[in-house]
Structure 1
Amino acid sequence: MNSNRPVIIGVAGGTGSGKTTVAKEIFNQFNQSSIVLIEQDAYYKNQDHLAFEERLKTNYDHPLAFDNELLYAHLMQLTDRSPIFKPAYDYANHTRAKEVSKIVPKDVIILEGILILEDERLRSMMDIKVFVDTDADIRIMRRILRDTQDRGRSIDSVIEQYTKVVRPMHLQFVEPTKRYADVIIPEGGENKVAIDLMATKIRTVIEQQST
């Protein structure tokens, strides 16, 4: 298989949809030596050149927040079987972290993020495009739990951000990308049947690529 192009699976969906859980569940069904998971969140743009007050205004739910040029270049390198140095993001300082992670090429690449289907170049590289479709009320509840428990935020601030930024951005940019999906998974990580079917499909694609 090493001489063949890796299989690239895109997993998109709104914040709190369960897309990260779906991506990790699929990841866990494969031998870790043959699969890699890349999060679009790691590719938020570097903002070192901006004052901290300016960085605080960043709209993380807008397509322009992502460095898709670098992400696309890295995917091209991985498909050429070359290693990459994946960035990381420092949310406390609202800019790219100094650390990077070396990622070696694998037979399967899972690319996960809210807006990975929004960029035509990224879409064109994917063999399978997945959209995790979860009701808005479930997504906001998951976001409230996550941000209050894991990020120390108040419920008021989470709801304000959701209503002013997250929800409008979802309706404008995330939801429309559902039409590009080959597979729509309702209810995210709770949908074990869909996840098992995805893993089976990926194995079939790998087998086809290797013959």
Structure 2
Amino acid sequence: MIIGICGGSGSGKTTTAQNVIEKVGADKVVLLEQDSYYLNLADIPLDERRQANFDHPDAIDFDSLADNLESLSRGEAVEIPIYDFATHTRSDRKKLIEPKQIVIIEGILIFTNQRILDLLDLRVFIDTPDDLRLLRRIRRDIEDRGRTLAQTLDQYEKTIRPMHHQFVEPYKRFADVIVPESRQKGTITSMLCGVINQKLAEEMKTAVS
């Protein structure tokens, strides 16, 4: 089973996925992040890399992501890219991901790609107010991605906000479930855990019979 969790930058996608894994068990659920599949910009100067639009679907290697999802669904291990957000390049190393019963893929643009959409058994959209998402984005970029406040605000104004209204917000129409952020923590985790546990129970019943 493949579950897609979409929503704007800072909406709580990764936190939701991690909460589900904690409750269901890391032995049963594997997480893939769209951000691991940014295209490698090593062939252009660093200053130009920083001006790239990372919130447009063209910035993502969706073919590799879809290939990896298909492999995991067949029970095959995959090697996923390791992306450096400070330099906007891919590492020469890759991360080995073993197949598990449930695959969660999260990202801001996963609903824009038809191949990804077709692979998803459940599509979830987390709807979070712009101001809260911006605050979370600032905190994450500074603490985890080596950015300055000025860089984050500049990126938000030039690409994050306009791309959200072009490529994220409109695509929530493809979601099976839309969860307001105010209800996110309890509702979405409980709902996803319920769906996953039902799926696992069905698989166990089939295996026994």
- 2:83·2:89 contact (CA, 8 Å) conserved in 1? yes
Look up the match of 2:19. 25
Task: Give the direction of change, closer, same or farther, for the CA distance of 1:47–1:150 in structure 2 (3 Å limit).
Answer: closer
Partner residue in 1 for 2:79: 85
The answer (yes or no) to whether the contact 1:22–1:189 under 8 Å persists in 2 is: no
Deviates more, 1:110-119 or 1:27-36: 27-36
Q: Following TM superposition, by how much is the alpha carbon of 1:192 offset from its aligned partner in structure 2, in angstroms?
A: 1.3
Q: Which runs of 5+ in 2 are unaligned?
A: none
Partner secondary structure for residue 191 of structure 1: helix
Residues 1-211 of structure 1 aligned to structure 2 (within 5 Å): 7-187=1-181, 191-210=185-204, 211=206
Match of 1:32, as an amino acid?
Answer: A
Q: CA-atom RMSD, angstroms?
A: 1.8
Letter in 1 for 2:28: S
Percent identical among aligned pairs is 42
Letter in 2 for 1:84: V
User: Residue 44 of structure 1 contacts residue 65 of structure 1 at CA under 8 Å; is this kept in 2?
Assistant: yes
Tell me, in whole angstroms, the C-alpha distance in 1 between the residues paired with 2:118 and 2:159: 28
| C-alpha distance after superposition, 1:38-87 (max 9, x if no partner) | 10100111223333343222211110111001111111111111111111
CA contact (8 A) 2:79 2:94 kept: yes
Residue equivalent to 1:4: none
Q: Which amino acid aligns with 2:118?
A: S
> 1:91-142: CA deviations, max 9, x gaps?
2221111121111111000001111111111111111101111011111121
Report the count of equivalent residues.
205
5+ residue gaps, structure 1: 1-6
Runs of 4+ residues over 4 Å off in structure 1: none
Question: Which amino acid is the alignment partner of residue 94 of structure 1?
Answer: H
Alpha-carbon distance change, 46 to 159 in structure 1, aligned in 2, over 3 angstroms: closer
Equivalent residue of 2:110, what SS?
Answer: coil
Range moving further from structure 2, 183-192 or 155-164: 183-192
User: TM-score, with normalisation over the residues of structure 1?
Assistant: 0.90
Structure 2 partner of 1:3 = none
Q: Normalization by structure 2: what TM-score?
A: 0.90
